[in-house]
Structure 1
Amino acid sequence: MSDGACTMKRLWRWRGNPLRRREDIMEAWIVLAVWAVVLAGGTLVGLLTAHAADEVFARQRAERHSVRAVVLADVPVSATKGGGTHALAGISWTASDGTTQTDKTLVDTGQKAGAEVVAWLDGRGDLATEPPSPTEAAIESGVLGTAAALGLAGTAFGAGALVRWRLDRRRIDQWGREWDLVGPRWGHKT
């Protein structure tokens, strides 16, 4: 089959056909629009989401800083019900203004009172989680961007399938009405 014939076969919905109905043309444009949204919109949404997430992670790395903290009480190995490796414990640290601060955070189980741990603070001096490394941030940004692109693609395909289903229902109803007109005439010739 020649390249021109393959192209015509792929674009069958637009070629002239005496059996083509208005719904067929509408369906062809809907399929084209869905694919355009999936390809162009999915790419755009994925890139924008990944870029926004990467900026958030970069801001977290810039704003958060680590401090040395001291565990206030022993943390038993069986401190968690699920047998996890971290448990909530009280810690204290010296703030940048020289005052001693206390709060609770997750530390490794089995820590003794007075053990040093690393705690992370945000720009206001409140406890925060450790910011992701550049590699972790890149991976998470990529995953979020991919999820956003797939979400848009799923929504577009779902909306397209719903509209195409509705068009199929209209075609079936139309065929039924036409058969009601033609069918009785055929019954007498057999």
Structure 2
Amino acid sequence: MNPVKVLWRWRNNPLKRPSDVVEAAVLLLVLVLVVIGGPGVGVVTGRAAHDAFRNQRLERYPATAVLVDDAPGRTERPYSDGGNLDTVRAPVRWRDARSTLHRGVTQVEAGRKAGSGVAVWLDGSGRLTQEPLDATGGVVAAALVGVLTAVGWGAVLWGVLHGVRHHLRARRIRQWEREWAEGGPRWHDGRI
């Protein structure tokens, strides 16, 4: 919207309606929240994501698990999701940092024999987890999270502005219809 039109609504004008003032105030508030709040929300969210990725790197550690059973051979997946066709899910066992024995299922190379070692990642509780992002990947992912959050913030505010403007427009139309119902017939008959 044109800033000159927005400022016009604030000046002392006999045609200015209360809904014009409300619409201009909401527009100004949304503009301030987008310009100041958007980057703020993005930075806060990006830092939180960066800290979470860093904590994952600190908490997770590599370990070696032992394959319990022979892994099935290569699977044929005609509608693959782009993943590695040479890996299958198979049961493994491992010991965590406190030497507690655990069992679970993870991706292994197809056709591996029982008893062979499998590289896995464990979390602080000794459970299987995914490999954490490296420092560079964490920074990139955190920046992406921050940018997407800022864009989402702007989209939500645009939606609020659109909703308020739609409501005010519908209210003005109802008001005009009431006024026309009262004065329109008199104007049409030449009584005004």
Structure 2-normalised TM-score?
Answer: 0.80
Shift of 1:13: 2.2
Alignment partner of 2:38 out of 32, 42, 45: 42
Number of the residue aligned with 2:12: 16
Secondary structure of 2:8's match?
coil
**Deviation digits for residues 41-79 of structure 1, max 9, x if unmatched?**
222221111111111110110111101233233222128
Alignment partner of 2:63 out of 61, 67, 70: 67
Pairwise mapping of residues 121-132 of structure 1 onto structure 2 (< 5 A)?
Answer: 121-132=122-133
Shift of 1:8: 4.1
Letter matched to residue 13 of structure 1: R
Letter matched to residue 88 of structure 1: R
**Deviation digits for residues 14-53 of structure 1, max 9, x if unmatched?**
2333211111111000111112222222222211111111
- Aligned residues: percent identity? 38
- Give the Cα separation in 1 of the matches to 2:126 and 2:139: 26
Q: Which runs of 5+ in 2 are unaligned?
A: none
Structure 1-normalised TM-score?
Answer: 0.81
Moved more, 44-53 or 75-84: 75-84
Q: Which runs of 5+ in 1 are unaligned?
A: 1-5
Letter matched to residue 18 of structure 1: P
CA-atom RMSD in angstroms: 2.6
- Give the Cα separation in 1 of the matches to 2:106 and 2:91: 7
Would the aligned equivalents of 1:90 and 1:103 in 2 still touch at CA under 8 Å?
yes
Would the aligned equivalents of 2:74 and 2:111 in 1 still touch at CA under 8 Å?
yes
**Deviation digits for residues 85-105 of structure 1, max 9, x if unmatched?**
332212233444556544322
Structure-2 change in CA distance of 1:98 and 1:161 (3 Å): closer
Shift of 1:158: 1.7
- Give the Cα separation in 1 of the matches to 2:34 and 2:21: 20
Would the aligned equivalents of 2:92 and 2:105 in 1 still touch at CA under 8 Å?
yes
